[in-house]
């Protein structure tokens, strides 16, 4: 068996060569950070290269939609009334409460029926009016793997939008697609998890617009979230 020869000291890179290679790698990484990563993710473009490559616009959309979603979340928190803690039921009420809870329990077969209903094909047309600067969110209740064919268009203007899904209350959203100053979109929405999946639209124009949303596929319901 032949073993590779051990390189001699003369064949090894010198300290100066190693430092030069490290410096080149650092400069290259910094260049990628400044010209690609910062414009595309945070709309920070000190060199102007990101805007030439249309990356800055992508970053502006992401930061704007993130700011709008956070503002809406804070608004919802500020307007949600604090519910008082429920009183402990009296002893004679507990038996009735237990009976009610028992009635809510379902067999696996009944649970399967509800799952089938959630996956049954539905068709809806939803008409939404958005005043200037206003936003709204509509979501479909879907199970993991379900697919919905959608088409929406804007009458008398354009909107910013974010198509996303949320596993449940308080969970982090999963963004599927975003757009800025868009007059419509069409495609197939596939649920990556059980939960609500849909769109947030914002009218940044100076006149009211009308959004017509058509959906067809496996979802339990469509409802307005905000």
- Decide: 139 and 196 in contact? Cβ < 8 Å: yes
- Identify the residue with better confidence: 34 or 210: 210
Q: Give the per-residue pLDDT at 138.
A: 97
In the chain, which segments carry CATH 2.60.120.510? Answer: 120-224
Mean pLDDT of 216-225: 93
Residues 6+ apart with CB under 8 A from 226: 72, 76, 135, 136, 137
Q: What is the pTM of this model?
A: 0.52
For 33-65, write each residue's pLDDT tens digit: 878 888 777 778 888 887 887 777 777 777 777
- Decide: 130 and 211 in contact? Cβ < 8 Å: yes
d(CA 176, CA 151): 15
Look up the CATH architecture of domain 120-224: Sandwich (2.60)
Q: Which helix (H) or strand (E) holds 26?
A: helix 15-32
Mean pLDDT of 7-15: 69
């Amino acid at each position: 068996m032949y073993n590779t020869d051990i390189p001699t000291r003369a064949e090894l890179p010198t300290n100066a060569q190693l430092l030069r290679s490290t410096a080149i790698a650092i400069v290259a990484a910094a260049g990628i950070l400044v010209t690609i990563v910062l414009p595309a993710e945070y709309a920070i473009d000190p060199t102007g290269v990101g805007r030439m490559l249309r990356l800055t616009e992508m970053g502006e959309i992401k930061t704007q939609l993130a700011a709008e979603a956070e503002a809406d979340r804070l608004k919802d928190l500020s307007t949600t009334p604090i519910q008082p803690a429920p009183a402990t039921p009296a002893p004679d009420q507990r038996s009735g409460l237990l009976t009610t809870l028992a009635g809510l329990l379902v067999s696996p077969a009944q649970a399967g029926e509800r799952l089938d209903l959630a996956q049954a094909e539905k068709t809806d047309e939803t008409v939404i009016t958005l005043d200037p600067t206003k936003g709204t969110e509509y979501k479909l209740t879907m199970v993991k793997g379900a697919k919905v064919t959608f088409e929406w268009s804007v009458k008398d203007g354009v909107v910013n939008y974010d198509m996303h899904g949320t596993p449940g209350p308080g969970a982090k959203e999963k963004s599927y697609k975003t757009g800025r100053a868009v007059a419509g979109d069409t495609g197939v929405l596939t649920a990556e998890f059980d939960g609500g999946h849909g769109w947030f639209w914002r009218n940044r124009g100076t006149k009211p617009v009308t959004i017509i949303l058509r959906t067809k596929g496996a979802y339990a319901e469509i409802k307005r979230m905000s």
